[in-house]
Chains A and B, each alone.
Chain A
């Protein structure tokens, strides 16, 4: 199954709001080639509204991977994107929405100026105190808990990250990924 169809199915099943028609974009790709896609995707945004349940981060990963591939991201960078957005979603479920089944995790993906700007929003109050980076030696020796890997990986994999952006709709973690490899 091509990414075109994966993207289409994900969009139909899980994208509750799309600001563009993915069929038109991918149709253009087939007719005119990759350079045309770049123009068409600029300033366009995909929004996902996910159940606040661990496991649904995979939907965001799949959608983002398709989106990133369509604009020419290399596979290595796509894997970084997937891991970072997954960890942001997991953090939103567990710490932001505190595993509340009624809450949602909203993921916004915008590709603009050769970079992805990704926002992951939950209904929490933010991260009151950002944890220090996990120290594996201390964890192995049982001197500190095995926690903090999600935020650590986000910080390591993205070009810019901003935690604790509060909006009237909730708490946002905002990440920027440049296209470079």
Chain B
């Protein structure tokens, strides 16, 4: 039942967007870590995580994402999130992710604010 993620790095001005396809679970750890490492190696300062609207995110995936947040804090990077369903916006707020990453409703809105 393991599913691979496909993560594409996209540069939008000062923003490096990780376009993440697939569900976010503990199996996502190597894919997310590799994508983050690539972004970091490219000197990314503003990182935007874009999820599929219908992605399934479980506690294992949340733990992986929080490790990414920890890395961005250590590296003085700004991290933001978009593409979440209303349910997972609520879940991310519950676990405290919104204390460290701003959530935007749309990619366009995120890029506009982060590029200003």
- Using a CB–CB cutoff of 8 Å, the interface residues on chain A facing chain B are 53-58, 61, 76, 79-80, 83, 86-87, 90, 134, 136-137, 139-142, 146-147, 149-150, 152-153, 156
Contacts and interface: CB of A to CB of B under 8 A. Distances in A.
Contacts, number: 63
Contact-size category for B: 20 to 34
B1 to A, nearest CB: 2
14 contacts: A55-B1, A55-B2, A79-B87, A80-B87, A86-B58, A87-B58, A90-B58, A134-B95, A136-B66, A136-B97, A137-B99, A140-B70, A141-B70, A146-B63
B56 to A, nearest CB: 7
Nearest to B94: A156
Nearest to A75: B87
A152 B95 contact: yes
A76 B87 contact: yes
Interface in B22-71: 25-26, 56, 58-60, 62-63, 66-67, 69-70
A109 to B, nearest CB: 19
Binding site of B, secondary structure by majority: helix, strand, loop or mixed? helix
B59 A87 contact: yes
B70 A139 contact: yes
Contacts of B85: 79
B114 interface: no
Contacts of A153: 59, 91, 94-95
Interface string B70-88: 1001000000000001110
A149 B1 contact: no
Given A90-B58, A136-B66, 5 more contacts: A55-B1, A79-B87, A83-B87, A137-B99, A146-B67
Contacts of B26: 54
Give the residue among A54, A76, A141 with the most B Cβ atoms within 10 A.
A54
B93 to A, nearest CB: 10
Contacts of A141: 70
B63 A56 contact: no
B87 A90 contact: no
B14 interface: no
A140 B58 CA distance: 18
B25 A54 contact: yes
Contacts of B97: 136
A80 B70 CA distance: 27
Contacts of A136: 66, 95-97, 99-100
